[in-house]
Amino acid sequence: TDYGSSLTVSLPAALQPHQPFQIIVRYTTADGPAIWWLDPELTYGNAKPFVFTQGHSVCNRSFFPCFDTPAVKCTYSATVKAPAGIQVLMSATQSTYLEEEGVYQFYMEYPVPAYLVALVAGDLIHADIGPRSRVWAEPCLLPTAISKLSGMVERWLTAAESLYGPYIWGRYDIVFLPPSFPIVAMENPCLTFIISSILESDEFLIIDVIHEVAHSWFGNAVTNATWEEMWLSEGLATYAQRRITTETYGAAFTCLETAFRLDALHRQMKLLGEDNPVSKLQVKLEPGVNPSNLMNLFTYEKGYCFVYYLSQLCGDPRHFDSFLRAYIEKYKFTSVVAQDLLDSFLNFFPELKEQCVESKAGLEFERWLNATGPPLAEPDLSQGSSLTRPVEMLFKLWTTEPLDSVAAASSVDLTKWRTFQTVLFLDRLLDGSPLPHEVIKKLSECYSSQLDSMNAEIRIRWLQIVVRNDYYPDLYKVRRFLENQMSRMYTIPLYEDLCTGTLKSFALEIFYQTQNQLHPNLRKTIQQILSQGLNPLPAIDTSAVTTDTPAMVLEDKVSEATNGAISLRDVNVSA
C-alpha cells in the first residue's frame, strides 16, 4: 500500500515471558518517501550530491524496518559508509568517523520514536556558534548561518532551561538543507533540520529555531502517543516557544507573532468551515489517511490557545512553568495521551481540581478537545498593541472608501517595520483581494519598490496580491521571483494563485523554463496544480510587461474566474 506493509515475526514457542531476544532483519531500501536524493544541481554549491531523510509522520518505515508509531520509543545505532568528501550527520548523541574506511558510526543513547531518526549527507562544513551548538551548511552558506545565529542558540537554550528544566540531549546542532527540503524545519534531536531559504528572513528564522528548541522538551522528550493528538507536541511547543520569545525579546514581539499566526488560523477556518472535523484537537484518524494530512494550524494554534488557557487558570504563567517542568520530569522519554497531561495538571493544582475547572460551562476540557471550530478562548494580545496598532491603522487607510488617505498611507515607511508587521499587513490585504484597481495601483506606487528589497516572506505576499488582483504592471516580478526559487514554500502558493485566476498560461510558461531546477517531487506537485481546474490559456508573452503597461493588457479568457483563491500558504503550517 502507500504506507507499506506489516512484517510479522513469529517468536519461538520456548521463549519465556520477558526473556530478552534479538531479531535481525536484512533489508534493502529503495526509493521511498523518507529519502530525498539530490543531484549536485539541486544544491547551492552545485558541487556534490546530497541526501537527507524526513521521517515525520510515517515515512521512516521506507528508511528502515521500525515500529512506526510515536507510541514506541527506542535507542538506535547506525553505521554509515560514504565517499570521501561527503559529510554524514544523524540525529544522535554520539558519533565517530573512521577516515581510512570512510565509515561513520552513530548512537542515540536516549529512546526516541522512529520519526525522529534522521540522516543527512553532502558537502557540509561546520562552525561552532556556542558552547554546545554548531551550524552545518554548504560552504557558500556557512558565513551567513554564522552571522545570523552566533551566540543566539545558547541564549535560547538557556532561557528554555530556566523555564522547563535541563536540556537533556547534550548538543543542539543545526544543519541547513537545500531548498528541496519539503518543510521549513524539523526537530530531530541533537540536530535540527532547517531549510536554507529561511536564512534571509531574520524574524522567521528566530521563531522557527526557537520552536524547534522548544520541541526538545515538548515532542522529543515527551511525545504524543498517537498522531490523533499531535497538538500535545505542537500546541505545547508553540506555547513554550512564545514563553521563550517573551523572555528574550519581550511581550510585544511575542504578541505580534501570535496575532500574525491567529490571523492565519481564522483564515484557515474561513476556508475549511467551522464544522470541519480537522479543526478538532482530537482528530479521528481514518484508516489509510496519512497523519501528516492532519497537520494544520489548528494543531499548532488551537492547541496553543488551549495550553494558554490552562496557564491562565493558574493565575501566573510562572506557576504553569513549574507544572510543565514537573510534567517533563515525570514523562520524559515516554509517550502520552491528552488525559495524562490534564490529569497531571489537575493533580498539580488541587485547588483548581476542587473548583472543577475542567467542567466550566462553555470551556470544558472535553469541548476544547472535541469541538470543531475556533478556539474557545484566545489570549490577550494587548501588550503587542504598539506593534499591531500601526498595522491596523494602515490597513484601514487603504480599505476605507473613498480612498482619501493615500498621502497619509504613502508616508508610512515599511522598511522601518518589523517583518511580522509587514506580513500581517500584506496578509490582510490578501484577505481583502481582489481590491479596487485604483487601490492596487496606488499600493504598487507606494510600496512596490520598498518591498523589492525585503526578504522572501514579504515579497511572496506582495506577489500573491499582484496575482490575485491581476495587476499586470508588476507581473514581471512574479516571473523573476519564480525563476530564482526552488523551495516548495515559495513556489507552490504562487502557482496555486496563478492557476486559480486568469494567468495559467503565464504559470505554464515559467514552469517550462524553470522545471529543471526543481526537485522531482516539487515538479510533480506543480504539474498537478497546472493540470487541474481551468483549461490552459493561449500562450501570452508577458516577459515584456513593464510598469507602463496598461492594467488590462490581457483579455480575460475565463467567464467565471475564481478570485477567492485558496492558497497552500493559507492552509499549511510553516514549521
Closest CA to 79 of 37, 53, 107: 107
Q: Give the model's pLDDT for residue 2.
A: 66
User: What is the grid cell recorded at 475?
Assistant: 507581473
Please indicate if the annotation marks 496 as binding a ligand.
no
Rounded to 10 degrees, the C-alpha dihedral 329/331/334/336 comes to -150
Helix axes 317-331, 303-313, angle to 10 degrees: 110
Q: How many CA atoms lie within 13 A of 572 on its CB side?
A: 16
User: What is the grid cell recorded at 123?
Assistant: 558537502
| Positions marked catalytic | 212, 300
- Cα–Cα distance, 170 to 174 (Å, whole number): 13
CA 222 to chain centre: 20
Helix axes 231-249, 303-313, angle to 10 degrees: 60
DSSP, residue by residue, 368-393: HHH--SS-SS----GGGHHHHHHHHH
Burial letters for 402-422: b for 16+ Cβ neighbours within 10 Å, e otherwise? Answer: eeeebeebeebebeebbbbbb
User: What is the grid cell recorded at 491?
Assistant: 513556489
DSSP, residue by residue, 36-104: EEE-GGGSSS-SS-EEEE--TTTTGGGTS----STT-EEEEEEEEE--TT-EEEES-SEEEEETTTTEE
What the chain holds in terms of domains, given with CATH numbers, is 35-216 (3.30.2010.30), 223-287+295-380 (1.10.390.10), 384-531 (1.25.40.320)
Beta bridge partner(s), residue 222 = 218, 334
Confirm if 431 and 425 have CB atoms less than 8 A apart.
no
Q: What is the largest CA-CA distance in the chain?
A: 87
Helix axes 251-272, 385-399, angle to 10 degrees: 50
Decide: residue 49, CB within 10 A, 0-12 exposed, 13-18 middle, 19+ buried: middle
Q: Give the model's pLDDT for residue 6.
A: 87
- Cα–Cα distance, 223 to 215 (Å, whole number): 9
> Which residues contact residue 402 at a Cβ distance below 8 angstroms, ignoring those fewer than 6 apart?
none
Q: Give the model's pLDDT for residue 547.
A: 34
Name the stretches of the chain with pLDDT < 70. 1-2, 533-575
> Which residues contact residue 203 at a Cβ distance below 8 angstroms, ignoring those fewer than 6 apart?
257, 418, 419, 420
Residue 351 amino acid letter: E
> Which residues contact residue 313 at a Cβ distance below 8 angstroms, ignoring those fewer than 6 apart?
349, 352, 357
Please indicate if the annotation marks 354 as binding a ligand.
no
- Cα–Cα distance, 447 to 453 (Å, whole number): 11
Q: Give the model's pLDDT for residue 408.
A: 79
- The pTM assigned to this predicted structure is 0.92
Confirm if 350 and 242 have CB atoms less than 8 A apart.
no
Please indicate if the annotation marks 18 as binding a ligand.
no
> Which residues contact residue 327 at a Cβ distance below 8 angstroms, ignoring those fewer than 6 apart?
222, 341, 344, 345, 348
Q: Give the model's pLDDT for residue 541.
A: 38
Helix (H) or strand (E) holding 176: strand 173-177
Confirm if 477 and 466 have CB atoms less than 8 A apart.
yes
